[in-house]
Amino acid sequence: MRLKRILGMVSAVMMLGVCAVPAYADSEADIPEYSADKSILTTDTSAPSISFDMKDWERYIHVTPDGEKISIGVSQEKTYAYQGASLKITATQPNDISDFCTYSALIRDENNELVYPGSDAEDAQYLTMGVELEAKDYGMSCFDGCMISFKYRINQDAQGKLLGDSVFAFPCTDEYKTVTSNSVQLKINTDASNNVTQYATALIPIPDKCGATKFVFEIPVIKKMDKTDVLYIDNIVIDTPLQQNGTDLQVMNLDGYNKSAKAQEIVQGLKIQPKSNGLSSTSTSEADSSRGIGVIGIVVIVVVVVVVVGAVILVIKKKRSRFY
pLDDT tens per residue, range 25-34 = 455 657 889 9
* Amino acid letter, 31: I
Please tell me the distance from the alpha carbon of residue 269 to that of residue 216, in angstroms, as a whole number: 29
pLDDT of residue 28: 60
pLDDT of residue 76: 97
Q: Which range, 24-33, 134-143, 187-196, 256-265, has the best average confidence (pLDDT)?
A: 134-143
- Residue 91 near residue 71 (C-beta atoms within 8 A): yes
pLDDT of residue 279: 32
pLDDT of residue 29: 56
- Residue 110 near residue 254 (C-beta atoms within 8 A): no
pLDDT of residue 193: 85
- Judged by average pLDDT, the poorest of 47-56, 138-147, 178-187 is 178-187
pLDDT at 205 over 70: yes
Query: What is the three-class DSSP state of 11?
Result: helix
Please tell me the distance from the alpha carbon of residue 248 to that of residue 241, in angstroms, as a whole number: 7
pLDDT at 269 over 80: no
pLDDT at 253 over 60: yes
pLDDT of residue 320: 46
Q: Which residues contact 260 (CB under 8 A, 6 or more apart)?
A: none
Please tell me the distance from the alpha carbon of residue 290 to that of residue 247, in angstroms, as a whole number: 48
pLDDT at 140 over 80: yes
Helix-strand-coil percent breakdown of the chain, rounded to 5?
25, 30, 45
User: What confidence category does residue 267 fall into, taking pLDDT thresholds of 50, 70 and 90?
Assistant: confident
Pairwise pLDDT comparison (141 vs 283), residue with the higher score:
141
